[in-house]
Every structure is written in structure tokens, then in C-alpha cells.
A and B are shown apart, each in its own frame.
Chain A
Amino acid sequence: MATKKLAFVVRSLPYKTEASRLALTHAISSQTVEIYLNDGDLVEASVSYVSDGVFNVLKNQQGGKYYGITTNEGHAKNTLLLDLRVLICKEDLDKFGLTEGNIVIDAEEIGGDTKANIVPYSEILKEMETADHLLFC
């Protein structure tokens, strides 16, 4: 029995490329990974938003209206619904003038209990240091 920690570090803008969306969908897929593993083994994913990546958690995204696709906001909420550990870099939010009010911090409306954590970059570094593998997207 073992658990491997994967840290997805989202640093790309949403919609410009698919990278940040894929980070979120891959992290979410950690929920079904057991079908490939031995009993008791787990892969645990966390998601950290840094640099331009913090724009992925902006509220009121209009991906459906303009592109006919799901929003990264929706995926961000799903990570919280699934109780993934979510970290958002405080310095980068400050840099772009974003506050807790502008971003997805919980997923209460879809039944999620877990909240995202706005943390200094030093905390995100700690998350990366404790992960078995890092995935920059």
C-alpha cells in the first residue's frame, strides 16, 4: 500500500492553449486511477495555480457563450468537489489585482466542502517539494 503525490502546477492562461484545461482534467482523473493499481495503492493529485495560471480560477467565465465549451472555472470547481488540495498563489493574485471575491474559492453550489487555499508562493514550493512528481502545465 502506497500513495504517490502528484503536483499539477498550472501556469498557463486559460483558453489560449489547452494546457491548463488538461492539467485540471488529468488531476480530476486521479479519482478513477485505482482501476489500474493494486488494492490500497493511490495516486493523490494537488493543483497549484501560479503566474498566468491564476486566471483559470476567475469567476464568471463565458467559455460556453463564446466557444461552446465547458469553462475552466467549472473544472476548478470540480477539483474542489472531489476534495483535491488546491493552492492559489497570493503574490500572483495581487500582481493581477485579483482578490478572493474574483476567484473560485469553493464549490458550495455543487455540493463541495473543500475550499481552495490562497497561499504565498513559499507554500506552493513546499507542496512541490513534498510531491513525488511535478507536472507543469
Chain B
Amino acid sequence: MGKLTIGTFSSLVGSLSLDFSVKLAEAAVKKGHTVDFWMSGNATMLAKKGQKAFKDYSFLSKTIQELIATGNFKITACEACAEARGYHKEDCPDGFLRKSMDWYLASTFEADRVLHIGGD
């Protein structure tokens, strides 16, 4: 089985690129691959506690928690991008990491594939 690194800049709700990235990660984990999931820019919105499910908006928290529970999925937010948006360490959901951008580049080192998705 391989390792996939997925990076995304796209926001939650404002774009469906983030949903696509999470669905792709879910499909990869279900196939037995490991996934490193990196969020920069507006994508760090996903690394905020307390999101509620409404029918009109994307709700990815449940899927993410299920993915984390598999042990084959690591999700990390860009710390500076999150802080710039007012998402602090205490706002981070359980199981999420916060790192500097070099974490993402390091993750690509052993990745079999890197998919960089979105950019709104």
C-alpha cells in the first residue's frame, strides 16, 4: 500500500474542492493507503471546533474523525494560516495537528503521490 499526501488551500463551505479532497482521502484510506492531509490558507477553516451540520453546507467533521480513528490518516493545518484567521490551538479539533509549512514539504518526501488540490 502507498502513501498519499494531499494538500489543499480551498475553504470549507465556500468551495467544494475541500470536500473533494476529503472524499479522495477517504477513498484512499478505505483502499488501505495512508494519507497525510495538509491544509493551508482558507482550508484551515476545517481545523476549527464546533462545526454544525446543516443540509445546505458541507460538514466534514464526522468523516475526518472516522479517518483519524483508522490510524492511517494524519491531518495537519498550517499554524500561521490558522492563527491569521483567529483559529488558535484551543480551537483545534481532537486529532488535528498544527505545523509550519515545511511539514507539508517533508510529507511529500516519502509520498508515492502528491495531490495539490484547489486554490481559491
Show the binding face of A for B, using Cβ within 8 Å. Answer: 2, 4, 6, 12, 17-19, 22, 25-26, 29-33, 35-37, 41, 43, 45, 132-137
Q: Which residues of A contact B103 (CB under 8 A)?
A: 36
User: How many residues of B are in contact with the other chain, CB < 8 A?
Assistant: 22
Shortest beta-carbon distance from A2 to chain B in Å: 8
Q: Which residues of A contact B100 (CB under 8 A)?
A: 29, 32
Q: Which residues of B contact A137 (CB under 8 A)?
A: 9, 116, 119
Q: Are B111 and A36 in contact (CB under 8 A)?
A: no
Q: Does B21 contact A (CB under 8 A)?
A: no
Q: Which residues of B contact A133 (CB under 8 A)?
A: 108, 111, 113-114
Q: Which residues of B contact A4 (CB under 8 A)?
A: 108-109
Q: Are A29 and B102 in contact (CB under 8 A)?
A: yes
Show the binding face of B for A, using Cβ within 8 Å. Answer: 7, 9, 40-42, 81, 100-109, 111, 113-114, 116, 119-120
Q: Which residues of B contact A2 (CB under 8 A)?
A: 109
A-B contact pairs, 17 of them (CB 8 A): A4-B108, A6-B108, A12-B119, A18-B41, A19-B9, A26-B105, A29-B101, A32-B100, A32-B102, A33-B109, A36-B102, A36-B103, A37-B109, A43-B109, A132-B108, A133-B113, A136-B119
Q: Are B9 and A30 in contact (CB under 8 A)?
A: no
Shortest beta-carbon distance from A19 to chain B in Å: 3
Partner of A136, one of B111, B116, B120: B116
Determine the distance from Cα of A12 to Cα of B9 in the docked complex, in whole angstroms: 13
Shortest beta-carbon distance from B6 to chain A in Å: 11
Shortest beta-carbon distance from A63 to chain B in Å: 15
Shortest beta-carbon distance from B10 to chain A in Å: 9
Q: Which residues of B contact A31 (CB under 8 A)?
A: 102
Determine the distance from Cα of A136 to Cα of B107 in the docked complex, in whole angstroms: 17
Shortest beta-carbon distance from B115 to chain A in Å: 9
Assuming the A-B contacts A18-B41, A22-B40, A133-B111, are A33 and B116 also in contact, with contact meaning beta carbons closer than 8 angstroms in the complex? no
